[in-house]
Structure 1
Amino acid sequence: MKILITGGAGYVGSACLRHMAAQGHEVVAYDNLTMGHAAAVGSHKLVQGDIADTDTLTQTLKDFGADAVMHFAAATYVGESVENPDFHYGNNIAGTRSLLNAMRAADVDRMLFSSTCATYGMTDSPTMSETTPQEPFSPYARTKLAVEWMIRDFAHAYGLGFTLLRYFNAAGADEGGAHGEDHKPENHLIPLVLQTALGQRDKIMVFGEDYPTPDGTCIRDYIHTADLAQAHRLAIEATTPDTAEVFNIGTGIGQSVKEIISACEKVVGYAIPQELTERRPGDPPRLVADPTKLKTQLGWEPAYTDIEKTIATAWDWHQRHPQGYGDA
């Protein structure tokens, strides 16, 4: 299969690109490199462009002869979306509309969309299935839900097979330490803790300990990028021009902020400075997947269910590349 991967130089997009190529698919990364890294694409083809540029997208799809698109390109910072919703709505929604129109012009009729568990928002359920009501808690999450509906509407009107993947917290790095997480600015918990362990930060901030969870800190489901990539491959291979599907991707196991810090301390072998501060806007108390549908329908099984094993791969990457891809 020939697959164009938008956001293919990003953390998750590039992990999926490398996995798809290793499994025999032809891939092209499309990325404006605002947040992505050319080094993450490696020897694979990279087209530098913005998803708002419909003409370049259309020509890239036609020149490549793409069979399908895996769409990762998006603004993803929750806090930023609260402070600057205009950027998130413009980038995520208008950008996806541009992509959908490019696909129409290039006669590409299969799409996989990287959505998020954040569309579920607040829930009393210990885990979230695909039928959990979607009540997004932040502008970022609302843009993702709006894009889900836009894809459904385009599919109905113009003919498009699609799969929506709502995944939980991406984590970890490639075995061997060649590729990993490098965001600037960084706001994901595990790399922030490990950067603190390396002395690159004075301390890790804990945003609130008054949430309705056992230790008062937010709980998340951390899914290794290798397991995310496997799920994306299974999903795109199962997507036909008639598909209209949605899956959660997560381990079904939740760890609190304090538990993650403790696990990182076990991996690195020493205490990591931390400080409690106020809650961060837009953070739901608990986001944990029910991945039953993905497992039963596509036969997916995560290889990384021990959070310390996931963190160990990230620690290997950060030790080898303390400046991220700037060391590559």
Structure 2
Amino acid sequence: MRVLVTGAAGYVGYAVGRRLVTAGHQVDGLVRAPDRALPQGVRPVVGDLLTPLALDEAYDAVCHLAALTRVRESFTEPLRFFTANVQGTVHLLDALKGSPTVVYGSTAAVYGTPESQPIPESQSASPSSPYGTSKLAAEDAVRYQAATGRIGAVVLRTFNVSGSVDGRGDPDPTRLIPRALAVAKGDTPHLEVNGDGGAVREYLHVDDLARAYELALAAGAPGTHRTYNVGSGIGASVAEVIGTVENVTGRDVPVVHRPPSPEPPLLLCDAAAIRRDLGWEPERSGLPEVIGSAWEALHMR
């Protein structure tokens, strides 16, 4: 297939492009500057989704990963998030030629904080942040465009992603695993934890997520749309993550406990649908391997 990856120089986009090239696809990577690092074999296409886009090529499929993703920032700059995540998606859809499959990278943040766990795709969307709301609106744009028959659509809702490929780890220093590893490396004196460290989340290796995008390319047909959760379904508490970081790195991670913050005690993914329909399985998402590859990437910077 001839595939366009947006956000191709980003954390997930890079991993997806790398995986697709390895699988034998012809891959173009949409980037805002020609000097951005891309996987070997990915051809750069310069463009900015914040303005109307002109694409010279027709593609069999598009993996749309260009987005703003930091939840806390979305509360202080909501319009910036809606512009990038919603209007950017509209600009992309408007530029596409032919009837490609669009695999849209969404987020579990569209669910908000449901009480029932693990979370299936049938759970009603109730986002609690401008980020989650903007991603849900972009999902709707993709689905309604699919309903016209102009594209096929597959929406992948991702939970927590970590790990690395080609020495490229998660660049977001606000997330738990990068924060804990920064302490282990000595870049930060201690890790601040809200409450007792009992909150449970799950973690998916970025290469396992890239595999889901590869499989989703063949899952869309013009006029159809599907939505899948992508996650390991294996929970780990904050305290367990810290303990694993200490075991993997052989270094202490001093912790300073802060008062508890209002957050759900448990968030887990039900990924039964993508396992059943596409045969996807997480292969690298055990917590030691996720943290180990992230630690290796930190030392390669």
Partner of 2:94: 101
Whether 2:236 is the aligned partner of 1:243: answer no
Deviations 1:164-210 (A, max 9, x none): 00011111012xxx332252x6222111211221111222222x22x
Q: Does 2:49 correspond to 1:51?
A: yes
Partner Cα separation in structure 1 for residue 291 and residue 135 of structure 2? 27
User: 2:173 aligned with 1:186, yes or no?
Assistant: yes
Q: How does the TM-score come out when normalised to structure 2?
A: 0.93
In the alignment, is residue 129 of structure 1 matched against residue 115 of structure 2? Answer: no
Paired with 1:274 and 1:140, the residues of 2 have a C-alpha distance of 29
Distance across 1 between alignment mates of 2:267 and 2:219: 27
Asked if the contact 2:104–2:153 (Cα under 8 Å) also holds between the matched residues in 1, the reply is yes
Structure 1 match to 2:16:
16
1:143 counterpart residue number: 134
Q: Quick check: 1:5–1:69 contact (8 Å CA) kept in 2? A: yes
Aligned AA (1:232): Y
In the superposition, the TM-score normalised over structure 1's length comes to 0.86
Q: What letter corresponds to residue 226 of structure 2 in structure 1?
A: E
Give the CA deviation at 1:233: 0.6
- In structure 1, the gaps of 5 or more residues are 210-214, 322-328
1:204 to 191, 194, 198: 191
Alignment match, 1:223: 204
- Give me the whole-angstrom Cα distance separating, in 2, the residues matched to 1:285 and 1:45: 43
The CA deviation at 1:127 is 0.5
Q: Which position in structure 1 is the counterpart of 2:36?
A: 38
Show CA shifts across 1:107-127 (max 9, x none).
243200000011111111220
Q: Percent identity?
A: 35
Is the 1:79–1:280 contact (alpha carbons within 8 Å) kept by the matching residues of 2?
A: no
Cross-structure match for 1:66: 59
Q: RMSD of the alignment, in Å?
A: 2.0
Counterparts of 1:286 and 1:90 in 2: how far apart (Å)?
A: 31
Evaluate the alpha carbon distance shift between residue 186 and residue 242 of structure 1 in structure 2; reply closer, same or farther with a 3 A threshold: same
Change (3 A) 1:234 1:310: same
- Determine if contact 2:101/2:221 at 8 Å carries over to the other structure: yes
- Match of 2:138, SS state, is helix
Which letter does structure 2 place at the counterpart of 1:7? Answer: G
Aligned length: 301
Runs of 4+ in 1 over 4 A off after TM superposition: 278-281
- In the alignment, is residue 29 of structure 1 matched against residue 16 of structure 2? no
User: How far is 1:241 from its partner?
Assistant: 1.6
Cα gap change, 1:87 to 1:256, in 2 (>3 Å): same
Contact 2:146 2:224 (C-alpha < 8 Å) held by counterparts: no
